[in-house]
């Protein structure tokens, strides 16, 4: 039977980031991933990083390409009622955000794992975790048809919303809190320059729209759609026409269109599982919480979990005991719930929930208040750039 100090289930950004940080502190880990590396790196995901996440990537030694290619944004634009209002993060919260695609970050982390020589097993089937409620946790899986077993001190469940780790916790020991939203996001990726230098969040009577980017030549755009919509219902031409309608005329005129290179529909939900520690098992990132993408908090929350957990593990292996490990769930959840609140608030502010004109007028009134109140704009800016770690 194999042996390691920390077994990491899942080779997404949180799993690889945790493994890289532990490696730099001399702590052994084995990463176990159900999918191939090519599959994981091809997934289209987020692209906005808080400064705390950027700092953690520097700490992990994987920020060289990010620093060469990143775009730094000082604010966002809010579009509503035919108007544009800019929220200046730098002036209001004294912080910026960084644009760098999660697909690129995934490649950087994968390269770092390979360069470290630390074990990583892609294509692992029938992954199961055992004994995490006692002193001898272990992981089993099938690799090329052969059953493998791994003993460890701790298990980090970085395997996402549908992973095995949270599902392995007895239902009596975990609480699930969930809000499912009655719409989805239709997103496209296209090799066209962004319509603006910063992100645009649009509240429109036909539904929400978001203009985002991955680089100066690659754009990511989203439209609020119904849960009954299918990707096949939306030609590129129809998408671009609808996006232009939902943008103020001054931005729509500058919209550059082109063929999509990826198109997908994602449902939106808020989800929190608590606690996030069960004996020797720690849930990290999407395994414990999901937020709607409106506030760009998903990847950043995962990085915050990693920060708390890796420092607790370093303290433990340096002989400092389990105090920080015992505090992991409480510390992580304080940040999770604040980000969940912000993501819920921003989603309800910007999206069309029904055809009720009264509700839409209230949204416009709140946006108008936000545009005229430094205090309200500061609250948005502080939450968007990322609340400080406790």
- pLDDT tens by residue, 89-139: 999 999 999 999 999 999 999 999 999 999 999 999 999 999 999 889 999
β-bridge pairing 2-3 and 146-151: parallel
Query: Would you say 200 and 221 are in contact if contact means Cβ atoms under 8 Å apart?
Result: no
* 181 has catalytic annotation: no
CATH code assigned to 181-268+352-385: 3.30.9.10
What residue spans in the chain does CATH classification 3.30.9.10 cover? Answer: 181-268+352-385
CATH code assigned to 2-73+97-178+269-347: 3.50.50.60
* 221 has catalytic annotation: no
pLDDT tens digits for range 28-55: 999 999 999 999 998 877 789 999 999 9
Q: Which residues of 26-63 are buried (b: 16+ CB within 10 A; e: fewer)?
A: ebbbbbbbbbebeebbeebebbbbbebbbebbebbebb
Half-sphere exposure of 91 (CA within 13 A, CB side): 8
CA-angle at 250, arms to 220 and 209, nearest 5°: 35
Query: Would you say 33 and 345 are in contact if contact means Cβ atoms under 8 Å apart?
Result: no
Catalytic residue among 181, 201, 221, 222: 201
* 201 has catalytic annotation: yes
Catalytic residue among 293, 310, 328, 351: 293
* 194 has catalytic annotation: no
Residue 388: band (very low, low, confident or very high) from pLDDT cuts 50, 70, 90 = confident
Residue with structure tokens 């919303």?
161
* 293 has catalytic annotation: yes
Token representation of residue 258: 């082109």
Catalytic residue among 23, 121, 297, 351: 297
Q: What are φ and ψ of residue 179, in 5° steps?
A: -135, 120
pLDDT tens digits for range 217-252: 999 999 999 999 999 999 999 999 999 999 999 999
Residue with structure tokens 């090329």?
144
**Cα end-to-end distance, the chain, whole Å:** 40
pLDDT tens digits for range 155-171: 999 999 999 999 999 99
């Amino acid at each position: 039977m194999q042996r390691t100090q920390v077994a990491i289930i899942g080779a997404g950004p949180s799993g690889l980031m945790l493994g890289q940080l532990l490696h730099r502190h001399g702590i052994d880990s084995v990463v176990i991933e159900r999918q191939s590396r090519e599959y994981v790196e091809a997934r289209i995901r987020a692209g906005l990083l808080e400064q705390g996440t950027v700092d953690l990537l520097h700490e992990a030694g994987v920020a060289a390409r990010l620093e060469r290619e990143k775009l730094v944004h000082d604010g966002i634009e809010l579009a509503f009622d035919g108007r544009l209002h800019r929220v200046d993060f730098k002036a209001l919260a004294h912080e910026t955000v960084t644009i760098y695609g999660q697909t690129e970050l995934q490649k950087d982390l994968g390269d770092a794992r390979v360069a470290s020589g630390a074990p990583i097993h892609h294509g692992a089937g029938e992954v199961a975790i055992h004994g995490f409620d006692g002193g001898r946790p272990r992981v089993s899986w099938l690799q090329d048809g052969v059953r493998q077993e791994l003993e460890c001190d701790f298990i980090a469940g970085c395997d996402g919303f549908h992973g095995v780790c949270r599902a392995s916790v007895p239902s009596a020991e975990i609480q699930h809190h969930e809000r499912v939203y009655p719409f989805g996001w239709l997103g496209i990726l296209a090799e066209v320059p962004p319509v603006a230098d910063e992100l645009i969040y649009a509240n429109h009577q036909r539904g929400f729209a978001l203009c985002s980017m991955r680089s100066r030549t690659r754009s990511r755009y989203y439209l609020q759609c119904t849960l009954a919509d299918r990707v096949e219902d939306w030609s590129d031409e129809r998408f671009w026409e609808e996006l232009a309608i939902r943008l103020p005329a001054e931005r729509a005129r500058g919209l550059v269109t082109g063929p999509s290179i990826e198109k997908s529909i994602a449902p939106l939900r808020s989800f929190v599982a608590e606690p996030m520690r069960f004996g020797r098992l720690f849930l990290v990132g999407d395994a414990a919480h999901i937020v709607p993408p409106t506030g760009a908090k998903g990847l950043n929350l995962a990085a915050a979990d990693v920060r708390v957990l890796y420092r607790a593990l370093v303290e433990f292996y340096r002989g400092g005991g389990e105090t920080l490990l015992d505090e992991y769930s409480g510390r992580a959840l304080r940040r999770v719930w604040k980000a969940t609140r912000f993501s819920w608030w921003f989603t309800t502010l910007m999206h069309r929930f029904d055809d009720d004109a009264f509700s839409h007028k209230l949204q416009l009134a709140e946006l108008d208040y936000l545009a005229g109140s430094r205090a309200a704009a500061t609250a948005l800016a502080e939450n968007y750039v990322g609340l400080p770690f406790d």
